Amino acid sequence: MTAETRVRPVTELDLDAITRIDERITGRYRPEVWEQRVVYYIRRDPDAPKVAERDGTVVGFMLGEVRGGEFGLEEPTGWIEFFGVDPSARGGGIGRKLVDALLDHFRSRGAHVARTVVASRDAEIASFLKANGFTTAPLEALERTL
């Protein structure tokens, strides 16, 4: 029987679990990077960033927040900025539950739109987001080598 997934806000005690999930995905162990990132969200709106737990173990995370006024987009926007699901726990709907929980929070904070940016090489992520209702935005991501 599959264990039930529980989604809840991130706390400072989830830092190690998030760091290890990132390491399993990217091969890089970066505790200091995740400390700064996670504390950024905790101090601004600690109810926004989410983790998913199964049997008391954190198996996924999704970090984001509501901001407005960036890129000429004045309306409150729910930005999804970091997420990851432990490779060993994929395929069980964890990512969808994280998206649902974060979008619910965005709505509660007055956002009517959620946005994110996906690198074109990350087809799997783009596919996941499209399966969760995201569509191509009328925005263009630009860059210039420096």
Partner 1 sequence: MTDEIRVDLPKPYHDAVEHWQRHNFPDYPRLAEVWDKYFPRDQEFCLCARIQQGMPEVIEVGELVGKPKAKQPAHLDPEAAQILLGQIRAQASTEFGSIQQHTGTLHRAADPQDQAWALRVMAEELRHGYQMLHLLVSQDWSPVTDTKPADMVEEILGMQTGSHLLAAFNLEFDSFLDNVVFAAFIDRVGKYQLTMQKISAYQPYATSMPPMLKEEAFHLAAGVVPLRRWVEQAARGDALIDMAAIQKSCTKWFCRGLEMFGDDRSDSHGGEDSVRLGLKDMTNRQAQDAYIAEVTHMLDDLNTRYVRAKRPDLSRDDADALYARIVKTRSDEGGVGFADLLRLPDRRFFRRRGDGAFQMWGFDGERFDDVETYIKHVASHLPEAYRASVDVRHWADMLRKVHRNEVTLKDAIKSMPRLARVGGGCPCSNSVRWVNA
Report the residue number, 115 or 128, with the smaller CB distance to partner 1.
115
Under rule CB under 8 A, residue 35 binds partner 1: yes
**Nearest to partner 1 of 89, 129 (CB atom):** 89
Contact between 104 and partner 1 (CB under 8 A)? no
Q: Locate tokens 């600690």: which residue?
A: 46
> SS3 of 31, please?
helix
Residues 72-101 that bind partner 1 (CB under 8 A): 76
Is residue 28 a contact partner of residue 22, using CB atoms and an 8 Å limit?
Answer: yes
In the complex, what is the shortest distance from the CB of residue 53 to partner 1, in angstroms, rounded to a whole number? 12
Find the binder of partner 1 among 31, 92, 96, 125 (CB under 8 A). Answer: 31
Q: Rule CB under 8 A: say whether 13 interacts with partner 1.
A: yes
Are 57 and 14 within 8 A, CB to CB? no
Binding region for partner 1 (CB under 8 A) out of 37-45, 82-90, 114-122, 128-136: 37-45
What is the rounded end-to-end Cα distance, in angstroms, of the chain? 52
Residues 41 and 55: their CA atoms lie apart, in Å, by 25
Residue 81's CB: how many other CB atoms inside 10 A? Answer: 15
Q: Is 108 in the site for partner 1 (CB under 8 A)?
A: yes
**Least CB distance to partner 1 at residue 130 (A):** 27
Burial of 127 (0-12, 13-18, 19+ CB in 10 A): exposed
| Residues numbered 51-70 forming contacts with partner 1, rule: CB under 8 A | 66, 68
